[in-house]
Amino acid sequence: MASRKPRDSDHPKVHEAFRLMKSGRMDRREFIRVAALLGTSATAAYALAGLPEPAYAAGTLPFPADDPKAKSGGILKIAQPVQKMEDPATYSWVEMSNQTRHTVEYLVMTGPDNVTRPMLAESWTAAEDLKTWTFNLRKGVVWHNGEEFTADHVRWNIERWLDPKTASSNVGLSVFSAMVEETPEKDAKGKPIKRLSKSAIEVVDKNTIRFHLSKPVLSAPEDCYNYPTAIVHPSFKAPLSDNMIGTGPFQLAEFRVGDRCILKRVTKLKDGKDFNYWGGKVYLDEIHYYNFEADNQLSAFASGDVDGVYSFSVEQMDLAKSLPGVIHIARTAQTVACRMQVDQKPFTDKRVRQAVCKSVDNEAVKKLVYSDGGDSGQNHHVAPVHPDFAALPPLKRDVAAAKQLLKEAGFENGIELTIDVGNTDGPWHQTVAEAMRDQMKEAGITLKINVMPAAKFWEIWDKTLFGVTAWTHRPLGTMAMSLAYRTGVPWNETHYANPEFDKALDAAEATLDVEERKPKLMKAAKILQDDAVMIMPLFRPIYTIVTKNVQGYEGHPTQYHQFNKVWKA
Amino acid sequence: MLKLIGNRLLQMVLIMAVVSLVIFAIFDSDKFKRQIAVAELGGFAVSALSDQDYEAWLDRKGLNVPFYERYLKWVGGVMTGDLGRSFEKNEPVTRLLGDRLVNTGILAFWVFALMVPLSLTLGIIAGMREGAFRDRAVSFIAVLTTSLPEIATAIVLTVIFALGLQWVPANSAMINGWDWRQLVLPVMTLVLYDFGYVTRMTRASMAEVMTSQYIRTAVLKGLPHRRVILRHALRNALIAPFTIIALQLNWILSGVVVVEVFFQYAGFGKLLLDAALFGDVYVIQAATLVAVFVAVISQIISDVGYTFLNPRIRFS
């Protein structure tokens, strides 16, 4: 299999990547990911890499191959917070998207192996300059109302995401940020309003849509699986839960916020005809989500009420190990940014920010919070699990230097800071803050920890001067960097604006060769690290548990639920 | 008596009016409106909305009308049984509240059914002979269980009976329908927490009665001990505990948030907590009205019962 070569019709970058792999400059996994991103089917990509495709279906389906032993029927019960389902484009929690993931689907799907495969799009091709992407949509996909899924529907969705009134975070994703342009209009704060460029989306025919981007983007397919990019029917009106028309195998049967979300298999279309799901066999009859807050999910599992949990915390690991079940551990880029707003005093002074960063030993914080698993951070947002990560010189805690910097900044008697903590991802946020507080004390920094309910924190996450914000996993190192630190993007909570950083990130995002991209991305990471906008002490592992009779389940680094091929023995 | 009840009910209406007005005023602030927007749309979405779009959202949610108009509309709705619509749960508050009150009512029933006889019996046994071994033993247990916070008791019981012995489920979410076994741990937790207090009050009352002259006279008259206790001591000794037990109604309604949250029991306390965190003003308003109602009613029950049990008050 390894003797195979890319086809002539494959993207030139696939040929380039193939050469890099053969010369040993790109590892096989990265080649598969790159080839799949550029439109080569995952099966072909695995074959070119000389690797067997791990239990994934042949052809263009994104799901694992059917298990001959699989049994149809049954209900999968999962414990997770059951949240409101207003508008997928403004989802702010993964849990919301899990509730709708099997009903409203995505153009692509990134599996637990970090490979992106086609979903509602059957394939895609990219121009050599990575500025034009053509998505060929899957034929035969129908909405639950019997209507055929077409390219116009995709265009309608993207136009809606990029309408400022929708306030979707999708505008910050690389592929979509390259579709908007500034207009002479200004908002109340005097910022120019960005709108979709008229030439950005071209509907070639009813099954083909083409994106014309203002800059090269490597991660276009991966961006299309970010959780707020679910494709809804053009008749959509919020809240989604009131009239959920999708293309997926399940539909909403019962829903109460804070109680339960019951999904049942779609068998008939609204006009009474049979519904044939495009994605092949689906085994489960029903998926049930029951509302359990993070701390209670494991007790629900222990009681036998549910077959699996959304996640459990590191503090609960001993309990989880004592229960009869299968624990799944995923290495991720999930993290916390203990970030400062660089345009607010005293953080306008870079020396203060640097002093804060230098007073903390990230490795020590990581060991304290997650003694097993996880990676320590380097105060930038690229994680060791990312394919484009390269380690920068190790950060060293330097109390003397921190004191000196504070002195130079006019705080020779020390400084008092308050950090807001919402524990939005669990109590470990507070443990991180407490560890930092103890270390900062030595450098003359008195850190007060303002703990608040998660809902309250969510209200101020992007407004607070100094706060601990949770960031979920994203498959590429470039993605979170682009979402959170690029000048003027909506999720830029640090208010960081550095053209040099933006330029370095642009260069990284336009580079296919992972070996070539690494130094470019790490250049951007170094700029961010030097500008000391945050302490990012660690990247945490995530833990889930399912009963032994749940088959085909895999822990996903973003905690996305993909139950199409899950079955119960 | 009727005048007393009438006055109390009038007071209740006034308290409800003032409390609802104050809460409405607090939640009418920009801060709380934004909190609702953040909870509903997500923090990012709200921060990215232009002022114009934010105003449009407020219009859609009916939050952009003057305070007095919203308040009067809400009062009008309350008069017709419409308590508004929950922002968080997206359903009528009346239905939501009804379900939760039923759940809390079931919890309260079992807590009272176990706690009242247990604490009265133990309190009387302890108070019959002050300083005896059984008095000290009961007092020790009562002080111990009451001193433990509900959350600690809940954890201990869960570890022993749910995770260890696996006799009962560890949570009370009732996701597969009603299951009495899931009620065991929250009921046990609340009974353990509350019975000590009522026991101590009963014991103190009983001990005081046992030292009174009429009891001494009855004993000296040669009446059997059993008759002295049942006919002479008990009725007077129960006056103080009765008042306390009636006031526990209020506690069981809104003071058991910790237990409801710990066991994921969908009761009134958990609803109130969720609503407060979300800024769900109509749910908070309705829950507050119910809490005031129960507080005043329990006070009336306490007063009326006290009057019947204590002839000196009744005839004065």
pLDDT score recorded for residue A557: 87
pLDDT score recorded for residue A454: 79
pLDDT score recorded for residue B252: 84
Q: Does A292 touch chain B (CB under 8 A)?
A: yes
Type of residue at A219: S
Could you read off the pLDDT of A108-148 as tens digits, one per residue? 998 887 778 899 999 998 888 889 999 999 999 999 999 99
Could you read off the pLDDT of B78-88 as tens digits, one per residue? 888 888 888 88
Which of B235, B244, B249 is closest to B124 using CA atoms? B235
Question: Do the beta carbons of residue A275 and residue A507 sit within 8 Å?
Answer: no
Distance CA B120, CA B202 (A): 6
**In the predicted model, is pLDDT for residue A3 greater than 60?**
no
**In the predicted model, is pLDDT for residue B257 greater than 50?**
yes
Distance CA A346, CA B136 (A): 61
**In the predicted model, is pLDDT for residue B191 greater than 60?**
yes
For residue B296, give Cα distances in angstroms to A72, B14, B300: 57, 11, 6
Percent of chain B with pLDDT over 90: 25
Percent of chain A with pLDDT over 70: 97
Query: Interior CA angle at A68 toward A67 and A73, to 5°?
Result: 75
Distance CA B310, CA B236 (A): 8
Confidence grade of residue A561 (pLDDT, cut at 50, 70, 90): very high
Lowest mean pLDDT among A53-57, A93-97, B226-230: A53-57
Which of A170, A163, A154, A164 is closest to A232 using CA atoms? A154
pLDDT score recorded for residue B43: 65
**In the predicted model, is pLDDT for residue A564 greater than 90?**
yes
The alpha-carbon gap from A75 to the nearest alpha carbon of chain B, in Å, equals 12
Distance CA B185, CA B191 (A): 10
Query: Interior CA angle at B194 toward B189 and B199, to 5°?
Result: 130
**In the predicted model, is pLDDT for residue A167 greater than 80?**
no
User: For A458-494, b where at least 16 C-beta lie within 10 A, e where not — what string?
Assistant: bbbbbebbbbbbbbbbbbbbbbbbbbbbbeebbbbbb
Could you read off the pLDDT of A419-455 as tens digits, one per residue? 999 998 888 999 999 999 999 999 999 999 999 987 7
Question: Do the beta carbons of residue A508 and residue A525 sit within 8 Å?
Answer: no
Q: Does A491 touch chain B (CB under 8 A)?
A: yes
**In the predicted model, is pLDDT for residue B58 greater than 90?**
no
Tokens of A500: 């040099």
Could you read off the pLDDT of A527-537 as tens digits, one per residue? 999 999 999 99
Q: Do A260 and B175 touch (CB under 8 A)?
A: yes
Its sign, for the CA torsion B203, B209, B210, B212, is positive
Which of A70, A246, A61 is closest to A149 using CA atoms? A246
The ipTM value here is 0.76
Distance CA B206, CA B131 (A): 13
Distance CA A15, CA A160 (A): 36
Could you read off the pLDDT of A17-43 as tens digits, one per residue? 888 888 777 777 778 877 776 767 777
Which of A180, A32, A41, A76 is closest to A567 using CA atoms? A76
Distance CA A180, CA A196 (A): 4
Q: Does A77 touch chain B (CB under 8 A)?
A: yes
Percent of chain A with pLDDT over 90: 59
- Count CA atoms within 13 Å of residue A3 on its CB side: 0
Query: Average pLDDT of B121-142?
Result: 89
Q: Does A296 touch chain B (CB under 8 A)?
A: yes
Greatest Cα pair distance, chain B, in angstroms, is 88
In chain A, which residues have their Cβ closer than 8 Å to the Cβ of B50?
A: 164, 187-188, 193
Q: Which of B47, B50, B278 lies nearest to residue A462, judging by beta carbons? A: B47
Lowest mean pLDDT among B95-99, B101-105, B237-241: B237-241
Q: Give the predicted TM-score (pTM) of the model.
A: 0.78
pLDDT score recorded for residue A104: 97
For residue B271, give Cα distances in angstroms to B35, B171, B221, B282, B294: 17, 17, 58, 12, 16
Type of residue at B261: V
Q: Which of B45, B51, B274 lies nearest to residue A167, judging by beta carbons? A: B45
Q: Which of B45, B89, B170 lies nearest to residue A299, judging by beta carbons? A: B170
Which of B203, B245, B213, B206 is closest to B229 using CA atoms? B206
DSSP per residue over B30-43, as a string? HHHHHHHHHHHH-H
Tokens of B34: 């934004």
Query: Average pLDDT of B140-163?
Result: 90
Question: Do the beta carbons of residue B145 and residue B193 sit within 8 Å?
Answer: yes
Could you read off the pLDDT of A342-373 as tens digits, one per residue? 999 999 999 999 999 999 999 999 999 987 77
Confidence grade of residue B62 (pLDDT, cut at 50, 70, 90): confident
**In the predicted model, is pLDDT for residue B160 greater than 90?**
yes
Percent of chain B with pLDDT over 70: 95
**In the predicted model, is pLDDT for residue A2 greater than 50?**
no
Beta bridge partners of A538: A376
In chain B, which residues have their Cβ closer than 8 Å to the Cβ of A304?
A: 169
Helix (H) or strand (E) holding A352: helix A350-358
**In the predicted model, is pLDDT for residue B314 greater than 80?**
no
More confident residue, A44 or B19: B19
Query: Average pLDDT of A59-77?
Result: 89
Beta bridge partners of A469: A337
Q: Do B44 and A490 touch (CB under 8 A)?
A: yes
Query: Interior CA angle at A218 toward A214 and A222, to 5°?
Result: 110
Q: Do B264 and A84 touch (CB under 8 A)?
A: no
The alpha-carbon gap from B273 to the nearest alpha carbon of chain A, in Å, equals 11
In chain B, which residues have their Cβ closer than 8 Å to the Cβ of A97?
A: none
pLDDT score recorded for residue A60: 74
